[in-house]
Amino acid sequence: LESIQAALAKAQAVKVDDPASLAQAQALVAVIQQEKAAVEALLAACDARALGALKAALAEASKLGLTGDEVSLAEQEAKAVEMEQECVASLVAATQSEDKAALDMAIEAAGALGLKGPELEAANALYSKLSAANATVVKLVALSSSDSIEAIAAGLSEADGLGLQGETAYHNCVARQQRLQEESQLLRDLAAAVASEDLAALSKLVAACMRLGIATKYPAEMTRAKQAASDLEAKKQVSVALAKCTVAGDLDGLEVALAKAEALGLGNSEGVLKAKEAKVEIEATRNAEMVLVEAMTKEAAYPGEPTRIVALQKALEAALEGGGALAASDRVAQAKATLERHGATSDALAKVRLAMATMDLGLLNLALEKAITLGIEETEAIKDAAAFRDELAAKEEVLQAVVAACDTLEMRAQGRGGISASDVEDLSELLGRSGDVVAELRKGVHARQIDHALSLQARMLQVLRCQEELAACEARGATIDRAALHKALSDARELEMDLDLMVPLSRLLRELDAEYQKGREARDATLSMDEAYEEAALRARVRNAKALEKKFGFSNCPALRSPDDFAKGVLNGKRRLKDGMLKWQPTLIPRSLTDLDAENSKVSVQVHKALLGYMGDKSMAFPATLAQDVLHKGLEQPQLRDEIYAQIMKQLSSNPAADSIAKGWQMMCMCVSTFPPSQDFELYLIHFMHVQKTKKGAVRNYAQYCHRTLDGILASGASGFVPSVEEIQAYKERPPVLATVELVDGMLLTEGLPVTPDLTVGKVVEICSHLLELTDTRADCMGIFVYDVPLDAAVALVDPDADKPFGDLERTPRPLRNEDFMGDVIVHKARQKRDFKFVFKRKIFLPDHNTPSEDPMFSRLNYLQAEDEVLWQGKVPIKSEATVVKIASIAYYLAVGEGWALKTAQEMAEDQDTPLVGFLPPNSQLANPHNSKAKDANSAPKALTDWRSLKTPAQWAELLVARRSEVMATSPAKLQQDLVEAVWEHDLYGAHFFNVHKLSSDSALTAALPFDLRVAFNAKGMWVFDTALTVLHFSHYSDIYRWGGSSSQFSLVIWSHATESTFELKLSTAQAADMAGILLDYINSIVGANLNPAH
């Protein structure tokens, strides 16, 4: 092909002009190319062994007339592929039909052809499986007669794996396995029945073995089972015999049966043991019966003889204790009847004696009837009792008359019109006419009835007198005496009288009380403060003591309506409304609680609606305005005051909501600060508060506050002041409290001072100044301090701050800012569970204020505070011994008084009641005092000296005695001023100290400070000391750039003149707010003094 193509190319190149030859050559090229393609197709089909491609290629080669090796090879390859496909088809068909012979021939043919592939593998696998199944079936046939359950189970498992469940041999093996399992279970049940000695089960199982025909197969097991059944049958018969003999009480039969049981080895069985016990009981019963017969015989010979009755009782008890047939026998019944008759006779005679002793006619009649029934009416004792009964019947007639007269009188006394003298005369005449009989009746069981009659007579006579007094008061009209009317109504209520006449008189008394209150207020205005206080305190003590009586309980108040009147006109829930008249209710009341006229009753319903709104029981807007409305009504309409208090008491009774209770008590607090109740109602209101004070938590605190405030307004009258909306809303922030304030020396300034929620410390300072009648203009420098009372080591209390960084620091007196609220302080301390006290003393000390005062009380307060700081706290160290002696001699004289003149120096030194050392300052003046011109005081100071240890008490006493004449010749007021002047120029006079821990060490100055420090503030500035009061640093307020703190830290940014830079001093303390407050107070005071030099 290539040669011809090359020649054609050359011919074309040289342009041969022979078209025929060129055409012939080109046709030859085409034929040769077809033949070449056919040969390539043959070779490709052979390589692919594709039968279709081979046949197509051979057909093309035949068409072209090709012969040769390629054609022969292709023909052979096509024949081989066709034979292989036929073999594969035979393998697939034999596999699908699971024909073992066809599989054998197909596999053999495939081997001859050298054929491989999945069809051959599947055929070989199936052939192996079919061969194994045939072997397993043969095995199952052999196992169907085997006695080995395990071998059968293994064969069945193998057959399950080969899917031979349908083979007959498989089913035979399953049946054989079930039969063997049934036999095995039967043998196990036989063994269990033998072991448990269950005769019924054993009999059934033996019968089952016989029925299955396996008795000969298991001879040993069957023999053992039959023997066990025989033994159990014998034991059963013995047990039945024992039971029958026990029930029948057959002692002889019981002994025979027990012997058989012993022979069978049943000696310790439960049945035999019970039989033995029964034998003992039967023997005891026979003995008891013999004793009972003997006792009955002897009692019949001597009826009622005590010793024989006792013997019969014992014999009967023994017979009954034995139980059984003897207990139900006729002999026992006869013995019981004998003893019952004897007991009935004795009881009848005893009741006769008791009735005669107590003169009880009813009991005596019953006892005599019983005696007749028993046939002993002819005995002397019964005849005497019959005669006594006739006498007693006559007395009973008198008693019944007295009781009837009492009932009649009490019924008439319940009428609202009262009683008449003739009503009482009937009872009095009867008691007088039957005096001897009444006296005798009073000694017996009827003493209570006679005493009641006598008491009723006396009380009704009092009621008559009281009615006369009330009638006289009514007759006087406008000239009525208030005290007489008050006494008459009080006596009537004491006697629980409820008369129509009392209603208008009670209203009249309220009007007179209002006039009296105005008059008393006018009279009190003319009294001195001490006289007015003493009189008010006396009235309060009498009033509070009387209010403790139970008769002043809320429900006993005569001003209240009756429940029927309160619920009048209500149809639905009337019973519930009546029962809850004096208990909390979230709905409007139908009318007033107290007996008011129709117009005021309508206003009372409006008051109750406002109360519901304020207390949150009814959703209403502006609750503070609602409270104001109630207070205005009570202040402006005195006739509504008792109603308002009664409604609040009602809403606080059985109230289930804590928030509503708190709001109700807040309303009560505002009422008792605004207007008093009437004199008729005050004791009932105070009694209510007494009861509430016994409760725990906030209710007790509210009740104490209200009671204290009520005492005040009852003494002073209505305040004429209604709190503003803002003041009412303050109750949400903090509760009202009672505050006790002391002076520095521990003397009480005021105890139980009512502090409303809006009352600031500044207002309390004003009140305290007013109580002390301070007139000095420097009184505004006074303040309230909080002193923490140390925890008592003997009481198991845990300090709430013990685990905090400042927990080891002792708290110093806390100066309160005037803007603080007293209530907040008390609540905060309560939450901390810390005991504390308020102390009224001077807070601000400015140098310009160091002048004597013309106010003796202000001078006294200054003296007490100076004495406290110098002698007791040691905060103002003293420099010279002469000053120490001067201070000590003044303080000692003012403490012991004129008795000092009688004491020698030795007696002063040895006096244990008034130790001299306590009047000596504990510390000397600092060795390195502050130089007011310097800005820092950081040079190393020396330690303080303890004046008390420099000399003995005797030596100090001699020094004080040397000044005694001079001191005692000076007036106490002048001495007090001398002591104050001796210390008021001191740098630390009036300083407020705080114990702190140092936290910062980021500067040379703070790094040099120790961990434990004391910081003080006064008019000069801020001082930093160590714990021995050695000055470590001082700064004027102008050098303190910033300050602030948290609950546990206080920080100051201070200018240092030495380094001409600022440094930060961080301190750990629980009094950061107190430090910031006093610092700011001093700065404001200094600035204020500079702006107003005259002040």
What percentage of the chain carries pLDDT values higher than 90? 33
Distance between first and last Cα of the chain? 142
The helix/strand/coil state of 1057 is coil
Q: What does the pLDDT read at residue 936?
A: 43
Q: What does the pLDDT read at residue 940?
A: 37
- 1023-1043 pLDDT, tens digit per residue, is 999 988 889 999 999 999 999
Q: What does the pLDDT read at residue 929?
A: 40
Q: What does the pLDDT read at residue 787?
A: 93
CB-facing half-sphere around the CA of 594: CA atoms within 13 A: 30
The DSSP call for residue 898 is: G
Band (pLDDT 50/70/90 cuts) for residue 414 is: confident
More confident residue, 659 or 340: 659
- 690-730 pLDDT, tens digit per residue, is 999 999 888 999 999 999 999 989 888 888 889 999 999 99
Band (pLDDT 50/70/90 cuts) for residue 525 is: low
Band (pLDDT 50/70/90 cuts) for residue 63 is: confident
Per the structure block, which two tokens stand in for 270?
A: 């439960």
Q: What does the pLDDT read at residue 552?
A: 92
CB 1082 within 8 A of CB 844: yes
Q: What does the pLDDT read at residue 127?
A: 66
Q: What does the pLDDT read at residue 693?
A: 92
Q: What does the pLDDT read at residue 98?
A: 72
Q: What does the pLDDT read at residue 213?
A: 72
Q: What does the pLDDT read at residue 792?
A: 59
CB-facing half-sphere around the CA of 858: CA atoms within 13 A: 20
More confident residue, 270 or 861: 861
Q: Is residue 84's pLDDT more than 70?
A: yes
Rounded to 10 degrees, the C-alpha dihedral 384/386/387/388 comes to 90
Residues linked to residue 1051 through DSSP beta bridges, in sequence order: 1044, 1066
HEC states along 797-823? CCCCCCCCCCCCCCCCCEECCCCCEHH
Band (pLDDT 50/70/90 cuts) for residue 938 is: very low
CB-facing half-sphere around the CA of 371: CA atoms within 13 A: 24
Work out the average pLDDT over 930-944.
42
Q: What does the pLDDT read at residue 316?
A: 66
pTM of the model: 0.55
- 163-177 pLDDT, tens digit per residue, is 778 778 788 888 878
Band (pLDDT 50/70/90 cuts) for residue 873 is: confident
What is the rounded distance in angstroms from the CA atom of residue 1051 to the CA atom of residue 1042? 8
More confident residue, 761 or 266: 761
Work out the average pLDDT over 952-979.
93
CB 193 within 8 A of CB 166: no
Mean pLDDT value across the chain = 83
For 93-155, the DSSP string reads HHHHHT-HHHHHHHHHHHHHHT--SHHHHHHHHHHHHHHHHHHHHHHHHHHTT---HHHHHHH
Helices marked H in 51-99: 51-64, 69-97
| Tokens 């017996």 -> residue | 444
Q: Is residue 927's pLDDT more than 50?
A: no
- 88-139 pLDDT, tens digit per residue, is 787 778 778 777 677 778 777 777 777 777 877 777 777 677 777 777 777 7
| Tokens 């001859």 -> residue | 112
Per the structure block, which two tokens stand in for 1044?
A: 């602030």
Band (pLDDT 50/70/90 cuts) for residue 1095 is: very low
What percentage of the chain carries pLDDT values higher than 70? 90
Q: What does the pLDDT read at residue 524?
A: 63
Q: What does the pLDDT read at residue 811?
A: 87
Q: Is residue 358's pLDDT more than 90?
A: no
Q: What does the pLDDT read at residue 210?
A: 77
CB 1069 within 8 A of CB 806: yes
Band (pLDDT 50/70/90 cuts) for residue 1050 is: very high
Note the Cα 321 to chain centre separation in Å: 55
